[in-house]
């Protein structure tokens, strides 16, 4: 699938939105103080306390699900550039290819890789601000 083609806009937009949602989950604020306030007000088992500790669900299109799963499986495979600050430069594509080969043999590898790159790009943009 060519993510830039008009007929694939919905899938591409969903991948971008899913990647942004993943970034929001990974950038959650330390909620200990807020959680303690909620516990003090409502008790530890109150739905408000439980809801505060759950990330918002994001609907992912079925055709994007393998790419989301593959991306999540490769979260420990970031390349970093070190200097005055340490920054992610992208995923280790050899590791992505290995996971793709072992776990996603039924998927079109070129299409799956393009989708993972779209997610990777959004994550890098979000982290760089």
Which ranges of the chain would DSSP assign to H, the alpha helix?
Answer: 9-26, 32-42, 47-52, 65-73, 93-103, 109-128
* Residue whose C-alpha is closest to residue 68's, from 112, 98, 101: 112
Question: d(Cα 103, Cα 122) in Å, to the nearest integer?
Answer: 23
The answer to whether 69 and 35 have CB atoms below 8 angstroms apart is: no
pLDDT in tens, 28-45: 444 566 666 666 766 777
pTM exceeds 0.75, yes or no? no
Residue 39, C-beta contacts closer than 8 angstroms, at least 6 positions apart: 46, 49
Can you give the pLDDT of all 129 residues of the chain as single tens digits?
555 566 667 787 777 788 777 776 444 444 566 666 666 766 777 665 565 556 667 788 899 999 999 999 999 999 999 888 888 899 999 999 999 999 999 999 999 999 999 999 999 988 887
């Amino acid at each position: 699938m060519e993510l830039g083609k008009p007929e694939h806009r919905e899938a591409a937009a969903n991948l971008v939105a899913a990647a942004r949602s993943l970034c929001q989950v990974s950038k959650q604020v330390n909620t200990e103080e807020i959680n303690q306030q909620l516990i003090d007000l409502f008790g530890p088992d109150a739905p408000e306390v439980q809801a505060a500790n759950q990330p918002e669900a994001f609907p992912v299109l079925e055709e994007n699900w393998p790419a989301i799963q593959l991306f999540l499986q490769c979260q420990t495979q970031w390349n970093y550039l070190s200097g005055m600050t340490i920054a992610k430069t992208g995923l280790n594509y050899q590791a992505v290819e290995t996971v793709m080969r072992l776990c996603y043999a039924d998927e079109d590898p070129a299409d799956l890789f393009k989708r993972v790159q779209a997610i990777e790009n959004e994550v890098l943009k979000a982290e760089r601000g």
